[in-house]
Structure 1
Amino acid sequence: MRYSEDFSSTKWEEHYLSKVFWDSENPAKEWLDIWNASDLLEKRRRRSFYSYTKEDRLGDGEFTHSYVGIALLDYLFSKDEPDIEQACLLFESILVNVLNEPGLLSFDGLPLFLSNIFARLPHIFKVQQTNENELLKGYFSWLGGDHQLISLCAYGMHKNGYDITQIENLGSIFSGKSLKQIIATYIEWEEREGGKPNRYDWPSNCRSMFNDAFQNTA
């Protein structure tokens, strides 16, 4: 079981739909082909011209397809002969496309989704043969230095047994700040007096992760 940010795995519907890709020789490409299907591209085009179309939300099709991608990831690295090359290609494809569509998910939905997909990385790394440090540098750099997203993606990995102090030692991918500093700043901001309540209790979760990972560090 992969622990997501909300302590769930994918829904049965998403798992069931992911079976469409199981026998494919190139499931990552086929997932992307559907993402780029003409009807979904049209929805994104119309949204980009909101002042004329008044369409400010993307449809459930893309939202569902994003989570189907996570369910497919679970299959690719869990089957008898894990296909890590396809899993990495799919991970990158999902991450890039979701980040390029900020209107796809609600304000809370984006960090939740990203934490869920990063929660799969420790399971990929258990069987992958490529340089995980180089992969992590790339993946975390795509988060644009956002303290909340970085903290919650680290939390998704932490919940799945990954030692996040390894991320701490990746070099200058956080604009000169350490992961420890980023998480501490995020917690301080979220727990400030008068701050907005968070229904997922993210600050408390990140504080627990922080204590687990850094309590014996300077």
Structure 2
Amino acid sequence: MAVSGRKLPDFQSSVSKGSAEDFNHECDPCLSDGLHEDAHGYCVDCKEYLCKNCFKFHQRTKVFNQHQLLDKDDMGFYETASTPSQVSTEKCTRHANEVIKFFCPEHKALGCHDCMTMDHRTCKIDYIPDNCAGIGDSEEYKGTMWLLNQKLKEIDSVMKKATVRDKEIDVCYDNLNQEIVKFRKEINDRLDQLQKQIEKEADRKKSDDK
């Protein structure tokens, strides 16, 4: 039977339910830790199979107390009756094998199952797929995307100006180096000229003295 949290639609008695013998999945959270435990149930919200311990933990933890949990008896029906839905694929930066599914409004933090369990056990957690359902059609989303597009255009404009300015800086640097070299050559040429004049005057003076 479905347990805890929100209730699933009542199943018609005429539909044959999957038996325990047909339920041969392994616990997903345990698999992420390299353990192979037979699944005892399934969380519709997390889309994960759960062993007995993980199933009980799901029921007792505040973060998951609104999740739809199915035991073995209901799994056969649900797997054939459920329709595909959009599933988050963004991986957690802290737990590589976990997907980001939750948001903590209090700490403004996104996280996976493990993040919420360890760091936000007492917080009121939002389940992202539920909160974001149909968000693409909302005016707030469209307005945000329009503003984001404008910002991207501004960034592109700034980047183009920065590229032009960067080239101008390089040209100015090269010109300055050329001016330095030219000025150094003019100084050297003038010193050479003065040296020759002084040497010529010294020769004349020496001749007169002799």
TM range (shorter): under 0.3
1 or 2, which has the higher strand percentage? Answer: 2
Would you tell me which structure has more helix in proportion to its own residues? 1
Larger CA Rg, structure 1 vs 2: 2
Higher relative contact order, chain-length normalized (CA < 8 Å, sep 6+): 1
- The two structures have a TM-score, normalised by structure 1, of 0.21
TM-score for the superposition, normalised by structure 2: 0.21
